[in-house]
Amino acid sequence: MPISGFPEWLPPQRMIEQYVLDKIRSTFELYGFAPLETRAVEPLETLLSKGETSKEVYLLHRLQDSSGASASSSSDDQLGLHFDLTVPFARFVTENHGKLVFPFRRYQIQKVWRGERPQEGRYREFLQADIDVVNRDTLPFHFDTEMPLVIGDVFRSLPIPRATILVNNRKVCEGFYRGLGLADTAQVLRTVDKLDKIGPEKVAALLAETAGATDAQAQACLRLAEISATDGSFVDAVRKLGVTDPLLDEGLAELLQVVEAANEHAPGLIRAELKIARGLDYYTGTVYETQLQGYERAGSICSGGRYETLASVGNTRFPGVGISIGVSRMLGLLFGQNAISVSRSVPTAVVVAVPAEEQRAECIRIASALRRRGIPAEVAPTAAKFGKQIQFADRRGIPYVWFPGSPDTVKDIRSGDQVEADPTTWTPPAADLRPTITGI
């Protein structure tokens, strides 16, 4: 029985996923990020201290502890499955900082778990692909400008709709709110982050209720959130609102650097969007979200930001910046619209037909010779009539059938062309060697 929110892709979808992961991994490594995998569980107190996550954390425990007591009384209740990869990464850095060379660049591709309401593209178990850079004491800002460039290269390598990275800086928002006279800037940020979900009127009412905002202050917050630009013009737009604060100035300068760097490397990739806040409390500066063209209503498929205080040992801080691709989320949306497909349902490029069961050993030798040369091959399951063995290949999208004989021949079952072939020299066209992934 399917369990809502826990996707299980069919083999063709899984092949697409693996292709996407290979592209992500290779791009991350081109930028010098090293691989890392952390444990699936973290102490519950760690997970609950990182934003509005208390309703989303899955607890981990045994059915009974060693004394036979019920699960609710077991100390294992203090472990939860991680809801993102940034929190466990920060913990890993603090535990291993003496063994790491800083700045430390890592990528991590793992499952995470969140107990949220399942819907299209939103799951309770899903795959994320993260990159982060952390440093000891201070992290130069140029790493914030690099994150969108890496992600832009990833998305351009995939047959998916055009991606736009939306970027903001929490210092802009917090400085603006401070300049307005709003003290609880964290609460204002969390409320404004709900803008797309509940709309401006409800956000304004919530600002009054939870942050003590006057109507004028709430309207100013909404006007800031309306500012959007693909170039540096957002700076003037903010200035025209007439609010001043040193933190606001710092945030505008940083955000301008990110936008200008992206426009030089990949024009059209990035857009300053001043309503972006991100719901997790550990972000302190730059924040990113990413939309796919045609799927804007589904929200962000790649998010992240700068964090200054998430990892520390004594008086030593390890500030970082990172961004995470929601691989399952992105693919779930594309699968739902049949917007990405694979040319065949198995990796096999050629099926070796079996004339009679007595000849199966020879057929296996032929397949082995092909595999040694990197050609995916399998032997037909039965010595049925050749027509049925061709149908077996055709149903799976396998393009070639090999017929043992004197001489051997191989048939392209799409065109009907059949030629003599030797398993030690024959190679299919490059386009047929591996399944092809295409988008619409």
Binding positions for L-histidine are 84-86, 114, 128, 132, 278, 282-283
Buried b (16+ CB within 10 A) or exposed e, 139-168: beeebbbbbbbbbbbbbeebbbbebbbbbb
Q: Where are the alpha helices (DSSP H) in 74-141?
A: 86-96
Residue with tokens 């992206």: 262
Residue with tokens 């024959």: 426
308 in helix, strand or coil?
Answer: coil
Q: Which of 89, 37, 87 is nearest to 57 (CA)?
A: 87
What is the DSSP annotation of 346-413? Answer: SS-SEEE--SSGGGHHHHHHHHHHHHHTT--EEE-SS---HHHHHHHHHHTT--EEEE-SSS-EEEET
Q: Are strands 79-81 and 41-43 parallel, antiparallel or unpaired?
A: antiparallel
Query: Which residues are annotated as part of the binding site?
Result: 84-86, 114, 128, 132, 278, 282-283
Instruction: Say what the alpha-carbon torsion angle 212, 213, 214, 215 is, to the nearest 10 degrees.
Output: -130
Q: How many Å separate Cα 44 from the centre of its chain?
A: 24
- What whole-number distance in Å separates Cα of residue 207 and Cα of residue 213? 6
Is residue 171 classed exposed, middle or buried when 0-12, 13-18 and 19+ CB atoms within 10 A define those classes?
Answer: buried
- What whole-number distance in Å separates Cα of residue 306 and Cα of residue 210? 26
Q: C-alpha distances in angstroms, 307 versus 138, 170, 250, 285, 320?
A: 11, 11, 16, 7, 5
- What whole-number distance in Å separates Cα of residue 259 and Cα of residue 167? 8
Q: How many Å separate Cα 48 from the centre of its chain?
A: 22
